[in-house]
């Protein structure tokens, strides 16, 4: 078991006390982090006792350590997955060479950039979600929200550790800047678009953790392949935390769907488009759930950047960022002559075009992401099917509502029909949440804080967390 040392100000399994300079640098960063957490973390619950999971070791078994903690006292720290003996670079120009324990001089700038961009997303989502505690549909959900939030805070620590430990002064400046930017701020916004959007209510939160945290999974998976071993080990441990975030999203949407189809069946409503009657029961109709999927999927797809990318090609060739499950792919891992099919709009029609695989790495990662999303959506549809309702939730066409990449200058329906500007303006409320939809969903967001009780628009979970009974008081709210 690789234990985490909790005796120090900054819990860690990287022998921080053996590196005084680094320890001092991080201790200097620490108060700024706490200030950021207190001003931008969960609003109104910093004094509450939350039943949180804290890692005690980085082995899978070291995980299930639950207890009541006030969030500001959470043991954030620096945890790396165990080193793999004899690990080599798995792809690119340096394939087969020993993995680097220090940053190769010529790759300093691109590596720092990759780490800073990943790092920026972590505090951003905490900022986006900071008001949600006040409208939690149950104490169970509130706990899950806070668990996600403290872990995103720790992911920031993970990236800041790399910046401080390996990038000297520029690294420290980047680490400082991560505490300065703010989600949605006009003057100093977060780096990526989706992390400047609002997460105004719980349906958005569940969609965010399903679609946007899943982008995080795919970025971390490809960084976990890195030839820079400390980055690889950091990301491998972060992925174990990320899995829980996606569980919160997938099970959250599933419970919303469950409650809706149950209410429809109780009332004898068979038509899922009978929106008014369905809303009268205080549940979220399936077409509206579909609209939120459309929105969150499309903004999350933007996070993969342009389909064709020289930056991505360079990062691969340098051995900094690999492909999803690189080690399971059967090819030369250098992509000298290979091709990859990329969906393109050619003369007004969608066509798969073979492109050099090295330049199409973003497209490939996004394709892997879409497959992963589809598996979850299938499980949501099972719930609808089981209830005997005729409706299928669908991931929209990849060209729908895009701001990045080759589809950003066209309008397409979720089915992939191309529209002109006028038709798009006229019809977009059919596919994206309208202000009426937002008002309706907002109207449902009332806090339920009685242990074991759930808001009327969401079903109780089948099992709670850490085998606790359903009426367990997951958050002891400080008054």
The answer to whether the beta carbons of residues 200 and 127 sit under 8 Å apart is no
Q: Taking the alpha carbons of 300, 377, 289, 406 in that order, is the dihedral positive or negative?
A: positive
Structure tokens given for 244: 């829980």
Give me the least distance between CB of 148 and Fe ion, in Å please.
6
Q: How far is it, in rounded angstroms, from Cα 398 to Cα 425?
A: 19
Question: Is residue 330 packed enough to be buried (19+ CB in 10 Å), middle (13-18) or exposed (0-12)?
Answer: exposed
Chain positions 396 to 455 lying near Fe ion, rule: CB under 5 A, are none
Closer CB to Fe ion, residue 138 or residue 234?
Answer: 234
The residue among 73, 37, 41, 67 whose CA lies nearest residue 53 is 67
DSSP bridge pairs for 289: none
When the beta carbons of 195 and 407 are compared against Fe ion, the nearer one is: 195
Alpha helices in 338-472 (DSSP H): 361-386, 421-427, 435-444
Provide the minimum distance between the beta carbon of 238 and Fe ion in the complex, in angstroms, as a whole number. 6
Nearer to Fe ion, 171 or 216 (CB): 216
Phi-psi sector, 15: left (phi>0), alpha (psi -120 to 50), beta: left
E-assigned strands of 163-290? none
* 236: three-class secondary structure by DSSP: helix
| Residue 269 C-beta: closest distance to Fe ion, Å | 36
CB of 74 to Fe ion, least distance (A): 15
Region of 151-159, 183-191, 258-266, 303-311 interacting with Fe ion (CB under 5 A): 151-159
Compute the least distance from the CB of residue 152 to Fe ion, in Å: 5
Residues between 61 and 80 with contacts to Fe ion, criterion CB under 5 A? none
Give residue for tokens 């990329």: 342
* CB closer to Fe ion, 40 vs 455: 40
Which token pair is 423? 């038709």
Shortest distance (Å) from residue 156 CB to Fe ion: 8
Token pair 């808001």: residue? 455
We find the least distance from the C-beta atom of residue 121 to Fe ion, in angstroms, to be: 7
- The site map against Fe ion for 186-225 (x = CB under 5 A) is ---------------------------x--x---------
Near Fe ion by CB under 5 A: residue from 94, 130, 155, 255: 155
From 220, 196, 219, select the one nearest 208 (Cα to Cα): 196
Q: Which residue, 440, 393, 448, 230, is CA-closest to 320?
A: 230
Quote the tokens at residue 477: 């709210």
Pick 11 or 405: Cβ nearer Fe ion: 11
CB nearer to Fe ion: pick between 155 and 323: 155
Give the shortest CB-187-to-Fe ion separation in angstroms.
Answer: 25
**Which 321-360 positions form the footprint of Fe ion (CB under 5 A)?**
none
The nearer residue to Fe ion, 155 or 402, going by C-beta atoms, is 155
Residue 147 or residue 288: which is nearer to Fe ion going by CB? 147
Smaller CB separation from Fe ion, 236 or 259: 236
Mark the segment that binds Fe ion (CB under 5 A) among 111-119, 154-162, 174-182, 404-412. Answer: 154-162
Euclidean distance between CA atoms 150 and 48, whole angstroms: 14
Three-class DSSP category at 284: coil
Determine which helix (DSSP H) or strand (DSSP E) holds 150, and give its type and residue range.
helix 139-166
Residues 85-144 contacting Fe ion, CB under 5 A:
122
Question: Count residues contacting Fe ion (CB under 5 A)?
Answer: 7
Query: Segment contacting Fe ion (CB under 5 A): 146-154, 294-302, 376-384, 428-436?
Result: 146-154
- x/- track of binding to Fe ion for residues 232-261 (CB under 5 A): ----------x--x----------------
Per DSSP bridges, beta strands 66-70 and 411-412 are unpaired
Question: What gap in Å lies between CA 238 and CA 153, rounded to an integer?
Answer: 11
Q: Output the smallest distance, CB 213 to Fe ion, in A.
A: 4
Dihedrals phi, psi of 212, to nearest 5 degrees: -85, -40
**Residue nearer to Fe ion on the CB measure, 234 or 401:** 234
| Selected range binding Fe ion among 111-119, 152-160, 255-263, 307-315, rule: CB under 5 A | 152-160
Minimal distance in Å, beta carbon 242 to Fe ion? Answer: 5
Binding site for Fe ion (CB under 5 A): 122, 152, 155, 213, 216, 242, 245
């Amino acid at each position: 078991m690789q234990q985490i040392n909790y005796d120090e100000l900054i819990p860690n399994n990287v022998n921080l006390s053996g590196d005084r300079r680094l320890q001092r640098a991080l201790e200097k960063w620490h108060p700024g982090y706490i200030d950021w957490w207190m001003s931008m973390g969960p609003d109104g619950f910093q004094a509450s006792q939350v039943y949180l999971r804290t890692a005690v070791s980085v082995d899978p078994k070291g995980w299930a350590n639950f207890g009541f903690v006030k969030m500001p006292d959470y043991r954030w720290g620096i945890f790396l997955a165990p080193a793999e003996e004899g690990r080599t670079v798995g792809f690119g120009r340096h394939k087969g060479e020993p993995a680097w324990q220090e940053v190769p001089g010529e790759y300093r700038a691109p590596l720092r950039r990759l780490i800073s961009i990943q790092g920026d997303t972590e505090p951003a989502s905490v900022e986006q979600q900071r008001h949600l505690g006040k409208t939690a549909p149950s104490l169970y959900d509130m706990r899950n929200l806070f668990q996600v939030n403290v872990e995103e805070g720790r992911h920031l620590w993970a990236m800041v550790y790399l910046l401080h430990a390996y990038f000297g002064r520029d690294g420290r400046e980047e680490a400082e800047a991560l505490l300065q930017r703010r989600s949605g701020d006009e003057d100093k916004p977060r780096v990526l678009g989706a992390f400047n959007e609002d997460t105004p209510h719980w349906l958005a939160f569940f969609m965010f953790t399903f679609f946007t945290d899943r982008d995080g999974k795919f970025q971390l998976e490809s960084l976990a392949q890195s030839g820079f071993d400390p980055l690889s080990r950091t990301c491998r441990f972060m992925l174990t935390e990320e899995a829980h975030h996606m569980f919160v999203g997938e099970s959250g949407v599933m419970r919303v769907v469950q409650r809706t189809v149950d209410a429809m069946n109780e009332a004898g409503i068979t038509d899922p488009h009978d929106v008014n009657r369905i809303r009268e029961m205080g549940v979220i109709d399936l077409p509206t759930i579909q609209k939120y999927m459309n929105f969150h999927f499309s903004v999350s797809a933007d996070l993969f950047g342009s389909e064709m990318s020289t930056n991505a090609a360079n990062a691969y060739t340098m051995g900094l960022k690999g492909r999803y499950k690189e080690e399971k792919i059967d090819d030369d891992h250098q992509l000298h002559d290979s091709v990859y099919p990329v969906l393109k709009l050619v003369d007004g029609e969608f066509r798969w075009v073979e492109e050099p695989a090295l330049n199409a790495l973003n497209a490939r990662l996004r394709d892997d992401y879409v497959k992963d999303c589809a598996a979850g959506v299938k499980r949501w549809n099972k719930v609808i099917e089981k209830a005997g309702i005729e409706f299928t939730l669908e991931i929209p066409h990849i060209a729908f509502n895009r701001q990045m990449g080759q589809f950003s200058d066209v309008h397409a329906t979720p089915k992939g029909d191309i529209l002109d500007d006028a038709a798009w303006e006229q019809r977009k409320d059919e596919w994206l949440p309208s202000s009426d939809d937002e008002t309706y969903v907002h109207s449902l967001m009332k806090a339920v804080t009685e242990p074991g009780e759930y808001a009327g628009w969401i079903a109780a979970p089948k099992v709670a967390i850490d085998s606790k009974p359903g009426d367990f008081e997951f958050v002891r709210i400080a008054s």
